[in-house]
Amino acid sequence: MTLQRTFIMVKPDGVKRGLIGEIIKRFDQKGFTLLNAELMTVDRSKAEYHYMEHQNKPFFGELVDFITSAPVFAMVWEGENIIEVSRLMIGKTSPLEALPGTIRGDFAFTKEENVIHGSDSLLSAEREIENFFGLLKKRISKDDFPFEDRKSV
């Protein structure tokens, strides 16, 4: 059993296109548990820290402009092997490679504005959750859910 937490973010294009509900639905129906969520505007320092691994890439400036341009819907989800499984659900970065049935395959048509972000490793998940929600702020655990057995229905 490998219970993990990951950081999932509906990007500004996904929020504008009304995809928040669809994305929550997919993670919820998969059996994952939503631990935290907030509609927020991201400032440049938070966006730069979030995408620090891309700071030397030619698209870095435009990526930060995009993420800070309008509200995002940031979430923390928990579940079995969720980091790997959520990346499968999200699909590849490029619309030419994102398969139908994945979130990007079904909704994204450019590699720059591709609807959703999901952490790609345990280390980035921890860093990204802390960047967006803080270490202690509003951290709730699966034990706080009184309706645990709903997932087995």
| Residue ranges in contact with ligand UDP by CB under 6 A | 59, 63, 93, 111-112, 114, 117, 120
Smallest gap from Cβ 113 to ligand UDP, in A, equals 7
Catalytic residue chosen out of the listed positions 19, 117, 124, 132: 117
Distance CA 92, CA 8 (A): 15
Q: Is 117 annotated as catalytic?
A: yes
Of 67 and 76, the one with the shorter C-beta distance to ligand UDP is 67
Q: Are 30 and 137 a contacting pair, CB within 8 Å?
A: no
In this complex, which beta carbon is closest to ligand UDP, that of residue 123 or of residue 135? Answer: 123
Min CB(9)–ligand UDP separation in Å = 10
CA 48 vs CA 43, 70, 90: distances in Å:
9, 15, 22
Binding site as annotated, residues for ATP: 11, 59, 87, 93, 104, 114
* Cα gap 134→126, rounded to integer Å: 10
What is the set of active-site residues?
A: 117
